[in-house]
A = this chain, B = another copy of it.
Amino acid sequence: MKKIYFTPGPSQLYFTAEEHIKNALKESVPSISHRSKAYESIHQAAVESIKQLLQLPEGYHVLFTGSATEIWERTIQNLVSYESFHFVNGSFSGRFHEIAENYQINAITKKVAEGQVVKPEEVLIPESTELISITQNETSTGAAQPLEDIKTIRSAFEKPIISLDVVSSAPYIPLDYSLVDTAYFSVQKCFGLPAGLGVWIVNEKCIAKSEEKMNKNKIIGSYHSLPSMIEKSVKNQTSETPNVLGIYLLGKVANDMLTKGIEQIRRETEYKAAVLYQAFEECGQLSPFIKEEKYRSKTTLVAETKCDSSEVINLLSQKGIVLGSGYGKFKKEHIRIANFPTHSKESVELIADELVRNFK
């Protein structure tokens, strides 16, 4: 039996991905030169599909890296000279803070317990802060920062760059990207693609900041400095030989999502999330880890388990369903279920049924 992966990234491939991989092989996509017109078309198609799918405003650029982790590092190298401010409520938001510290930045945090989100009204951000980092969806806990909070922060802080982690929420989350200056995701989450590609969205303010840093003779990296990346990106190229196959697949899957319609994807995501949270509520053995409904992620659903979470995981595994365990210290106490565009309503209903039947 071939299993269906509901792990929150890497996860189940998007249902068209396998066919696109086979077409890529037929078309010799992995063999073409990254300096050829053929590559430039692939690059441009991916960028344009992403821009359209996310409805990026004019002046926003789409860049490619090896991972979202790399984007954390490039963000610090290019956009911060002295001070950054991090909303921290779990392992991934915390990891970005650590990377800033690795670069000897004065990296300030407002930290709340796992399962919470930082409330904008409770943060004090110094005048000197150059970048504010927010995690829309903390994949380790399933806590989501509401979109109203992003608006609140933007209106309170016009000057600093706002960086938003949409790693496991794009393209589901109906974000107005003009509220942030930079955002990023990796393709193995909602896009259902093989890992090894990060997507970095930046606006002109980011480019100007990076150039300003460079002009002050500060180190901003090399082949993946923002000016180098932009210089190549306007020609639909990259500085290095990139993950050509990954970029090809991203363009194809983003285009499939456009054909399906983002509104349809959002409706389905919300329906499936409702089914699963309902099941968590009905099971005596389970309860949603995020107590307040408005902070619950619709794409990464986390339940506390009264039993060892491996009991739940093993039972579903027998039905051909792979769930995620809790992250880090919650390994045995949580299950995490990805609710990505590739996950069908039917398989989500199956999970809900099995949970209710067995863990009532």
Residues of A near any B CB (own CB < 8 A): 2-3, 5, 7, 9-13, 17-18, 21-22, 25-26, 28, 30-34, 65-70, 72-73, 76, 98-99, 102-104, 186, 188, 193-197, 217, 219, 221-225, 239-246, 322, 324
A196 to B66, CA, bound (A): 7
- Which chain B residues border A66 with CB–CB below 8 Å? 65-67, 70, 196, 240, 243
A35 to B30, CA, bound (A): 27
The distance from the CB of A96 to the nearest CB of chain B, in whole angstroms, is 10
- Which chain B residues border A69 with CB–CB below 8 Å? 223, 239-241
Count copies of this chain in the complex. Answer: 2
The distance from the CB of A53 to the nearest CB of chain B, in whole angstroms, is 21
Known: A30-B194, A195-B34, A246-B196. A241 touches B104 (CB 8 A): no
Interface of chain A, helix or strand or loop or mixed? loop
The distance from the CB of A326 to the nearest CB of chain B, in whole angstroms, is 12
The distance from the CB of A350 to the nearest CB of chain B, in whole angstroms, is 18
Question: Which of A11, A219, A221, A222: most chain B CB closer than 10 A?
Answer: A222
A25 to B22, CA, bound (A): 10
A286 to B182, CA, bound (A): 51
Q: Give the 9 A-B CB pairs with smallest separation, nearest first.
A: A66-B66, A196-B243, A69-B240, A30-B194, A102-B222, A5-B31, A99-B222, A67-B240, A194-B245
